[in-house]
């Protein structure tokens, strides 16, 4: 099948959040299995200092922080999550990779990652 143009945007968004939730659940399971691993875990963090690294954030007991950014595609043949995708930007915009790098630098300046 070449591509399903009948998929609603809201269905794609929902599937992406469900995938992100599964990634977050995996971190929570790690926390459950080893309660000494994390001090806390946040899903959809709202820390303004690291804007673009917000999907799953977990503070380890040693003070370091894990940032997990999740991306999802409903059709990897038609919409691949590749370098072109990560480096693309809209006019006067910034690529995802550049946003993540900027957020990473801010996070690194404030503590161990």
- Where does residue 111 rank: exposed (0-12), middle (13-18), buried (19+ CB within 10 A)? exposed
Report the mean per-residue pLDDT for the chain: 89
Who's near 7: CB < 8 A, 6+ residues apart? 74
Confidence label for 99 from pLDDT (cuts 50, 70 and 90): very high
Quick count: other Cβ atoms within 10 Å of Cβ 66? 16
DSSP 95: -
* pLDDT at residue 78, rounded to an integer: 85
Please tell me which of 5-19, 28-42, 88-102 the model is most confident about, judged by mean pLDDT.
Answer: 28-42
* pLDDT at residue 49, rounded to an integer: 82
Q: What is the pLDDT of residues 46-87, one digit of tens each?
A: 888 888 999 999 999 999 999 999 998 888 888 888 999 899
Let me know: does 80 contact 86? Beta carbons within 8 Å.
no
């Amino acid at each position: 099948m070449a591509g399903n143009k009948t998929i609603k945007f809201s269905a794609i968004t929902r599937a992406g959040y469900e995938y992100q939730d599964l990634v977050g659940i995996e971190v929570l399971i790690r926390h459950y299995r080893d309660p000494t691993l994390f001090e806390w875990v946040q899903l959809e963090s709202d820390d303004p200092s690291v804007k673009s690294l917000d999907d799953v954030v977990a503070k380890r007991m040693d003070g370091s922080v894990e940032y997990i950014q999740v991306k999802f595609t409903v059709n990897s043949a038609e919409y691949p999550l590749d370098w072109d995708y990560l480096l693309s930007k809209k006019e006067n915009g910034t690529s995802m990779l550049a946003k993540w790098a900027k957020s990473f630098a801010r996070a690194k300046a404030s503590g161990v990652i």
